[in-house]
Chains A and B, each alone.
Chain A
Amino acid sequence: MSQLLTSTPYSGGVPAPVPTGPVRLHINGETRTLQLAPWTSLLDALREYAGLTGTKKGCDHGQCGACTVLVNGRRINSCLTLAVMHEDDDITTIEGLGSEDNLSPLQQAFVDHDAFQCGYCTPGQICSAQGLLNEGHAHSEAEIKELMSGNLCRCGAYVGILDAVKEVVDKESSEVRA
């Protein structure tokens, strides 16, 4: 027995794509004006239009955290927001935290604790950890683990990630005390 069916798009007619327009973003301290249509996510704007491929696409649905960036200092999933919604916002990506030759304390701690394997979730982990530091709510191991749980790592480098983040958290809090 067989059955005929046709997959039909929902709405009748075919809406035309919406033209692009200039969107001004402050990325890693630099003002960039990109030509974007409203449907471009912040993630795709960074990767495909601004040439900043350090931010990763792991699921494109806010379910993995690989695309984490800092917007005005706060960590968010760049896949679930539109670039046009961030006109004039300050956006910091992994490239803005440090470079290969000049690693940030978190980046160095990730290397020292081997807090990654394939490296694909790593920029998101580090941006997330930077957001965690900015928020200032994680102190104990349990708190760090919970507040780093928005970032999946399929290689399973979580132990190293915890150690790396904890090292920087401890250092920063001891600096505050001193």
Chain B
Amino acid sequence: MYPFTYSRATDVADAVRDKAGHDGSAYIGGGTNLIDLMKMNVEQPAHLTNVAKLPLSKIEDLPDGGLRLGATATNSDTAWNEQVKQRYPLLNQAILAGASPQLRNAATNGGNLMQRTRCYYFYDIATPCNKREPGSGCSAIGGYNRIHAILGASEACIATHPSDMCVALAALAPTVRVSGPNGERTIAFEDFHRLPGEQPEFDNTLAEGELITSLDLPEKGFAKHFAYLKLRDRHSYAFALVSVAVGLEMDGDTITEARLALGGVAHKPWRDKSAEEMLKGQPATAETFGRVAAHVVANGVGQGSNDFKIELARRAIVRALKQAAEGQQEAGDVYLGGQ
């Protein structure tokens, strides 16, 4: 870990100012990913601006019927919030499927969006990685890539975004509010994370110095028909090989609106709007689910050790759609989908 100076910001303006005033600085919230990466010498900030205690930890109703999730509210507080449980059970379950209770207690909502990939090579400075050192090459291509992307990858990078929470968010489509040196702006969630392309060093579309202040969920929460299905190499405390978030609106057996997003398969939480369109107006049948699932993975590209993910994702989509249509999953204080 490289040395750094530290300050604790008192409000958002102070935080933005403090960060702008220090070269090579970074915001730190829960720190659960940043400190990990600093210990690996992957991240080497010269200054940390602590934003964990900013007054952004509230979860409150919005006038448009939506719900505002403060950026510094912890993942646990968010998952266990009564409003979230009742109105956005998909988010409740996705958060609880991720990491461990201890990590969720420290990790913030803003920080969850800022998580970096779990790619083995990104983490290991003994190996080349374009995301860590642009231009050095991608070791995962042709290497061991069990946890890598099958959708939207580039020749420069096949890393995946590791979050569970963000998969549910991709389906729920909140607005990300940010503050920066040039003032406030909002970013649609689907535009927040990016695909690697030629510049895998950029995970998202935040401008220099911008700080996430809240996630504003729209009113529609798909509370009746939803599913979060996470598949991994052990039954808890493991990153997803593939995860699927589904939200449906149903009229009898007919799907009237759908949301579908995948985790563990791409550089960003992978929402497939064309698949959502395909589901609209269709009967909730195995045939429908199979057709849509095949469509989602139709452009999937395996890299060797992750070839199986294409088929796994297809099957997981079918399963999650079925679970959502049947209303099998419920909000709760624990995610037991893995057991």
Whether A and B touch (Cβ < 8 Å) is answered with: yes
Tally of A interface residues using CB under 8 Å: 43
In the complex, whether A177 has a CB less than 8 A from a CB of chain B is no
Residues in A with CB closer than 8 Å to B1 are: 39
Residues in A with CB closer than 8 Å to B36 are: 61-62, 80
In the complex, whether B207 has a CB less than 8 A from a CB of chain A is no
Decide: A150 and B102 in contact? CB cutoff 8 A.
Answer: yes
In the complex, whether A84 has a CB less than 8 A from a CB of chain B is yes
Tell me, rounded to whole Å, the shortest Cβ–Cβ distance linking B128 to chain A. Answer: 11
Decide: B105 and A15 in contact? CB cutoff 8 A.
Answer: no
Decide: B3 and A17 in contact? CB cutoff 8 A.
Answer: yes
**Total CB contacts across the A-B interface at under 8 A:** 120
Interface residue stretch chosen among B27-35, B183-191, B268-276, B320-328? B27-35
Contact of A81 among B35, B80, B101 (CB under 8 A): B35
Interface centre among B35, B125, B237, B338 (most CB of A within 10 A): B35
Decide: B105 and A76 in contact? CB cutoff 8 A.
Answer: yes
Size category, B interface: 35 or more
Quick one: given A17-B3, A85-B28, A85-B31, are A142 and B103 in contact (CB under 8 Å)? no
Residues in A with CB closer than 8 Å to B2 are: 11, 15
Decide: B4 and A39 in contact? CB cutoff 8 A.
Answer: yes
Residues in B with CB closer than 8 Å to A10 are: 41, 44, 125, 133
Contact of B339 among A17, A62, A128, A142 (CB under 8 A): A142
Quick one: given A85-B28, A85-B52, A146-B236, are A138 and B334 in contact (CB under 8 Å)? yes
Interface residue stretch chosen among A94-102, A103-111, A129-137, A162-170? A129-137
Quick one: given A18-B3, A82-B6, A137-B334, are A150 and B50 in contact (CB under 8 Å)? no
Quick one: given A41-B35, A137-B80, A149-B236, are A75 and B3 in contact (CB under 8 Å)? no
Residues in B with CB closer than 8 Å to A80 are: 30-32, 35-36, 103, 106
Given contacts A15-B3, A147-B334, A150-B100, 15 further A-B contacts (CB under 8 A): A9-B41, A11-B44, A18-B6, A61-B39, A62-B36, A76-B106, A77-B100, A81-B35, A82-B48, A85-B8, A128-B101, A146-B335, A147-B101, A149-B100, A149-B235
